[in-house]
Structure 1
Amino acid sequence: MGAIADAWSWLTDGSNWSGAEGIGVRLGEHLWLTAVALVITALIALPVALWLGHIGKGGALAINISNVGRAVPTLAVLGLLLLTPLGKQGNWPTIIALVLFAVPPLLTNAYVGVREADRDVVEAARGMGMSPWQLLTRVEVPLASPLIMTGIRSAAVQIVATATLAAFAGGGGLGRIITHGFATSRTPEVVGGALLVAALALVVEAVLVLGQRLLDPLRKRRPDPAEPRDAAVVKVPA
């Protein structure tokens, strides 16, 4: 427990939070990297996953291709990107590596969510004369929203944890605290940096869970777990 106590002392030292190399600046850099990588991941993965899930074709191939990003270590991808012209483009090598790592869980969850949407509800909506676009946006996506949000949460937490690698590419973020601690043989700084990354991942997870509950369009329409199952009524979102 001595290392934890020393790390806590380091974290609660106000001088470590100020300045260009302080915790506040590094935390801001880490959040920026996470937000940019997550937005790019969503812009790439969600349209592909939702459309493939809607038409029911090509999903397995897309998932297998995206899983290549999981098979290759993120640090190795980052190292290769640094050897290309992108290596001189600031944080972009790190962001690209993070996106490649985060696409698979988001793509898989969104695709599965749409494909496993209640087919009775989907067919009822189709029978009402809904267009394919209306069917996707007003029925399938709301029904798939829990799995989609789970994919976003998984991708976000992975990005937060993996963004520490930005330090190896000369970028910012909380990883710089850890690498600086190793370089100067300051164990409290190393442990403190690791605790900050873990705490940030937990906070991001909690915020996204709360957001999922607040934004879930079907939250109030789902049956109470204590209610008899035969009393539940599934309605098509308006």
Structure 2
Amino acid sequence: MNVFADAFAWIFSPERLSGSLPLPLAVGQHLAFTFGAVAIAAIIAIPLGWLIGHTGRGREIAVALSGAARALPSLGLVVLLVLVLGVVHKTEAAMVAFVLLAIPSILAGAYAGFEAIDRTVIDAGRAVGMTGWQVLWKIEVPLGLPLLIGGLRSATLQVVATVTIAAYVGLGGIGFFIIQGIQLRSFPQILGSSLIVVVLALALDGLFALLQRLVVPRGVAGRDARRQGERSGARASAVRAAAS
């Protein structure tokens, strides 16, 4: 426990508020990279995912490209892009790597949300005279939103953990303290900065989990609750029957 006590002492030391990179500034840089990369990836992946889910075309290509993007080593990609684009554009190089990391999860969440919709609901919408755009915005988008938020949640967690490598090319963030701690052989600093990344990831995960519950349409939530109640009642009846 002394190790964790030393790590917390490092985090809350007054020295973290001064120096070349104060801890609050490093946290801000870390979150800026995270939200920036996820936002850019969302702008690219959500319309593409909705198009795939709405038309049912191109899913195999999207899956193949997503798998290839997931296989790319983030650190190697950042270093390669810095070498290609030049040190002057190292921020852009890092953002490209983080965006590529975030796209697969968001893309999968976007088209999977549409694919999970009961087709009878869409057919009913068309039967009452809805146009393709009305089906998209009034049925598919609202019903597919929970899985899309799940994709954004997964992408955010992946990026917030990976942004630590931005410090490897001198871009700051929490990774700066991890790399500096390795060089100084300061285990409290390494553990303390790692704990900050963990706390950020847990906080963001909790926010997205709450948002994912809030975006579930009330009718769907009520239906799921009724189904859960019916299943619970059936299990209780089975238990009573077995007991008798």
Alignment TM-score > 0.5, same fold: yes
Q: What's the counterpart of residue 55 of structure 2? A: 55
Q: Which runs of 5+ in 2 are unaligned?
A: 232-244
Contact 2:82/2:90 (<8 A) preserved: no
- From 227, 230, 236, the equivalent of 2:229 is 227
Q: Distance in 1 between matches of 2:225 and 2:33?
A: 39
Q: What's the counterpart of residue 109 of structure 1? A: 109
Comparing 209-218 with 148-157, which one deviates more in the overlay? 209-218
Q: Distance in 1 between matches of 2:100 and 2:221?
A: 35
What residue identity is the alignment partner of 1:76? G
Structure-2 change in CA distance of 1:142 and 1:11 (3 Å) = same
Q: CA deviation at 1:220?
A: 4.9
What is the number of residues matched between the two proteins? Answer: 229
Q: Distance in 1 between matches of 2:56 and 2:177?
A: 46
Identity across aligned pairs (percent)?
Answer: 38
Structure-2 change in CA distance of 1:69 and 1:224 (3 Å) = same
Q: Distance in 2 between matches of 1:87 and 1:128?
A: 58
Q: What's the counterpart of residue 165 of structure 1? A: 165
Q: CA deviation at 1:133?
A: 1.3
Q: CA deviation at 1:18?
A: 3.6
What residue identity is the alignment partner of 1:228? E
Q: Distance in 2 between matches of 1:123 and 1:10?
A: 60
Pairs within 5 Å for 1:85-164 = 85=85, 87-164=87-164
Structure-2 change in CA distance of 1:222 and 1:94 (3 Å) = farther
What residue identity is the alignment partner of 1:71? A
Give SS of 1:67's match.
helix
Q: CA deviation at 1:60?
A: 1.5
Q: Distance in 2 between matches of 1:208 and 1:67?
A: 24
Structure-2 change in CA distance of 1:169 and 1:228 (3 Å) = same
What residue identity is the alignment partner of 1:127? A
Q: Distance in 1 between matches of 2:223 and 2:107?
A: 25
Give SS of 1:89's match.
helix
Contact 2:16/2:23 (<8 A) preserved: yes
Q: What's the counterpart of residue 68 of structure 2? A: 68
Aligned-pair Cα RMSD in Å:
1.6
TM-score (norm 1): 0.90
Listed one character per residue, the Cα deviations across residues 71-117 of structure 1 (whole Å, up to 9, x for unaligned) are 12111111110111254224211111011111111111211111221
**Larger Rg over CA atoms:** 2
Contact 1:118/1:143 (<8 A) preserved: no
What residue identity is the alignment partner of 2:23? I
Comparing 134-143 with 194-203, which one deviates more in the overlay? 134-143
Q: CA deviation at 1:165?
A: 0.6
Listed one character per residue, the Cα deviations across residues 121-176 of structure 1 (whole Å, up to 9, x for unaligned) are 01100111111111111101111112111101000000100000101111121100
Q: Distance in 1 between matches of 2:58 and 2:101?
A: 21
Pairs within 5 Å for 1:1-12 = 1-12=1-12
Q: Distance in 2 between matches of 1:194 and 1:17?
A: 18
Q: CA deviation at 1:19?
A: 4.4
